[in-house]
Amino acid sequence: MNERKAAERRHYVVAGVEVAAPPLEPALYLVATPIGNLSDITLRALQVLAGADIVACEDTRVTRVLLDRYGISRRMAAYHEHNAGEAGPRLLAAIEAGGSVALASDAGTPLISDPGFRLVERVQDAGLKVVPIPGPSAVLAALTASGLPTDAFMFAGFLPVKAGQRESRLQELSGVPATLILFESPRRLASSLATMAKVLGDRPAAVAREMTKAFEEVRRDGLAALAAHYAEAGAPKGEVVVCIGPPGEAQPTDAATVDRLLISLSREMPAAKAAGEAARMTGEKKSDLYQRLLALKDEGRGG
């Protein structure tokens, strides 16, 4: 294999300049790829992608766009949660035979919300080398743009889809003395934010979407206000990261936000229950919120 690798011509192209990429030593290389803007790729990542014997990725079509952008032509193999049991041993065998495998996710750093850790475990258990190639991360991009504390943070992945399980998971996270970072589906965002406000209190938070892309947005407010905004505006487009301030960071909720929250909740449940939910989310008295909701209905603004 070493003779074949030495004979192969491997390169990448940056700004019209072709750069040679020497073959790599046998190892698993964890390559971080752009989360949106393809210019965020690092030079080292390009060298590894161009020099590897195999580029393993979640979706070969997605990674092919990146490789084509930089003039890289390599053998590709799909590796994702549905085929990890079969593809993992094949990739391990390739490294054991003296090959190099570059593992890339569709976007961001491998192993973050993908099954790559199983492959890393296999490779390490076999006494082989694992090399991280750091770069873009949606988690860190959202955190740094959130305006929330960064001295301690916890990435908690996706919340459960079922409402009861979601509440239970948030209860488990409620005492963590750090900024929480979560991924969320756009269509569940409003309901998830409402549940976060209910369980965690009205902490300051930020919703980051489409990071590094043309319509990048970071909206910062209290959890209750964010829940009301997305309930009214509808599901946003693009991928979403939610950052939530640590315990003890709750902030007062203004009257306009409370009104929007009451109206949003009353469209889904009876007035008394809506007032109770709003009370848990904002810390205000249920009786006061119930009377406010009745007044809003009289004004023709309630659900």
Reduce the DSSP state of residue 6 to 3 states and report it.
helix
Helix residue spans in the chain (DSSP H): 2-7, 43-51, 60-69, 84-96, 116-125, 138-146, 163-173, 189-200, 223-233, 255-266, 271-282, 286-298
Determine phi and psi for 52, rounding to 5 degrees.
Answer: -70, 150
Quickly state the pLDDT bin for 246 (edges 50, 70, 90): very high
Question: What distance in Å separates the CA atoms of residue 42 and residue 4, rounded to the nearest whole number?
Answer: 27
Q: At what angle do helices 84-96 and 116-125 cross, to 10 degrees?
A: 40
Q: What is the pLDDT of residues 89-130, one digit of tens each?
A: 999 999 999 999 999 999 999 988 777 888 999 999 999 999
Asked whether residue 243 carries a pLDDT value surpassing 80, the answer given is yes
Q: Extract the tokens encoding 121.
A: 């475990």
Q: If you average pLDDT over every residue of the chain, what do you get?
A: 90
Mean pLDDT on 232-237: 91
CB atoms within 10 A of CB 200: 24
More confident call, 257 vs 245: 245
Averaged pLDDT for residues 4-8: 55
Are residues 127 and 47 in contact, defined by beta-carbon separation less than 8 angstroms? no
